[in-house]
Amino acid sequence: MLAPCINQIDVEVSQKIRDQAKDFLKSNNQKVIAAIKEKMLLASAEMDYESAAEYKKMLAAIEHINIKQNIEVFDNKDRDIFAYTTREGYLSLGVLLFRKGTLFDKKTYIVEQFASEDEQVANLILQFYQKVPLPQEVIINNKGVITLLDGLLDAKVYRVTRGKLIDLTLTAKQNADNAIDEYFLSARLDADKLSLLEKLGELLNIKTPLRIELFDNSHLQGSSPVGALVVFINGEPAKKLYRKYKIEHGHARDDLKSMEEIVYRRYLRLKNERQVFPDLILVDGGLNQISAAHKSLKKIKVNIPLYGLVKNNKHQTSGLMDQKGRLYPIEDKNLFFLLTRMQDEVHRFAITFHKSLRSKKMKSSLLDGIKGLGSKRKEMLNKAYPDINLLKQASIEQLNQLLPKEVALALYAKLHE
């Protein structure tokens, strides 16, 4: 709290804080945006990607506040508001779409510049309305663009200079600015990640590993054992390529058997289907895990660079290990963070899958043996309450909305035994 009655705050400082708060709430926050943007770009230049990402979230939150504050139903018209910005050969176009006076959507587009600004913006707007229904009004604060669009759109096309609409035009411009900032930041991050992957290839004496696959497994005292695979391409998670494995061997507590199984199943399938192999396989663990994975690769006659991400006695990632037990310390801080993020991701994915299976099994056993609770009603409950904890929190009245009263009472009693 920054209240003078609680903390001893100088009167001038207190007034300055009040004024800053008022300015922010009035959307006079361009100085704040500029300061955060400067910090974001500085963090990116220093390869502090986590801080850059946090600053990016702050900018998105402020943008959301600005739009919410500016959106008031001042009429019932359908209206689109365009604004643009350019930088280093690229053009960013932002648009706010209002329907019946209320914000319906917002979009941004980034393209390379290939003509005059006026011509390109006019062409982009015309392309936009090939896919989007025309509103009653189109606002773009550029006389040249308005002239080029004259007679081509069956809508009122005009510019504004004051009032609520100029505030919304500035918001559209801010969105275009933020989009081009994000574009250049992402391009820089991509270049930096490629550089880190090149360093990783040099460290391990392999070709640059643009595609990396990581494995982990999870169980709790042998229950619901699972395996997980995550894929990173160019240093970015490719979530559509992630895979989950229910362990099929009969030794649920045996992590090495589990690793051997999931690696075998993964690469036997890739081989049979003639799919792309990764440039590098990483397993979560030391020599034993590496040996288990290598055993499977050898069995299906597949040769892929294989290493383990090993931890120290503080359970922190300390380096990479090869099949002979040789350690490769990771001295580059940013490469260390990249590999740690990959390791955290495969661990998260495995744990999430394991918890999901356990929850389903617990729920299944709880739902068994209740008179009147057949397969269709179980399926309905699973859709309404996908997690066992959510089901346990449901009241009798809530359960009664899905089930007959006597079945709801019986289920409630069993859930709270």
Closest CA to 334 of 189, 234, 184, 182: 189
pLDDT of residue 68: 52
Do 179 and 191 meet the contact criterion of CB atoms below 8 Å apart? Answer: no
Which tokens hold the place of 41? 């770009």
pLDDT of residue 341: 85
Do 124 and 149 meet the contact criterion of CB atoms below 8 Å apart? Answer: no
The SS3 call for residue 219 is: strand
Count the neighbouring beta carbons within 10 Å of the beta carbon of residue 11: 8
Q: What is the pLDDT of residues 197-210, one digit of tens each?
A: 999 999 999 999 99
The H-assigned helical ranges of 87-138 are 117-128
Domains and CATH numbers, the chain: 23-187 (3.30.420), 211-359 (3.30.420.340), 368-415 (no CATH)
Tell me the pairing of strands 156-158 and 137-140.
parallel
Q: What is the pLDDT of residues 7-56, one digit of tens each?
A: 444 555 445 545 554 555 444 556 677 777 777 777 766 666 667 767 77
Which tokens hold the place of 249? 């061997």
pLDDT of residue 25: 46
- Give the integer Cα–Cα distance in Å for 121 and 98: 20
Which tokens hold the place of 303? 């040769």
- Give the integer Cα–Cα distance in Å for 289 and 7: 56
pLDDT tens for the chain, 417 residues: list them: 344 444 444 555 445 545 554 555 444 556 677 777 777 777 766 666 667 767 777 776 666 555 554 555 457 889 999 999 998 889 999 999 998 888 888 999 999 888 789 999 999 999 999 999 999 999 998 999 999 999 999 999 999 988 888 889 988 998 998 888 888 776 666 668 888 999 999 999 999 999 999 998 875 444 557 888 999 998 988 989 999 888 766 655 678 888 999 999 999 999 999 999 999 999 988 899 999 999 999 999 999 999 999 877 766 777 899 999 999 998 888 888 888 888 888 888 888 775 766 555 555 566 677 888 777 787 777 777 766 667 777 888 888 888 888 888 888 887 777
Enumerate residues 6+ apart whose C-beta is below 8 A from 54: none
Output the CA–CA distances (angstroms, integers) from residue 222 to 41, 245, 264, 363, in the order listed.
47, 15, 21, 18
pLDDT of residue 9: 43
Give the distance, in angstroms, between the CA of residue 268 and the centroid of all CA atoms in the same chain: 31
Tell me the pairing of strands 306-311 and 317-321.
antiparallel
- Give the integer Cα–Cα distance in Å for 403 and 380: 9
Burial of 338 (0-12, 13-18, 19+ CB in 10 A): buried
Q: Tell me if the pTM is above 0.75.
A: no
- Give the integer Cα–Cα distance in Å for 217 and 155: 59
Count the neighbouring beta carbons within 10 Å of the beta carbon of residue 143: 10
Closest CA to 99 of 141, 69, 137: 137
Q: What is the pLDDT of residues 278-334, one digit of tens each?
A: 999 999 888 999 999 999 999 999 999 999 998 777 667 778 999 999 999 988 888
Phi and psi dihedrals of 327, rounded to 5? -95, 140
Tell me the pairing of strands 327-329 and 243-246.
unpaired
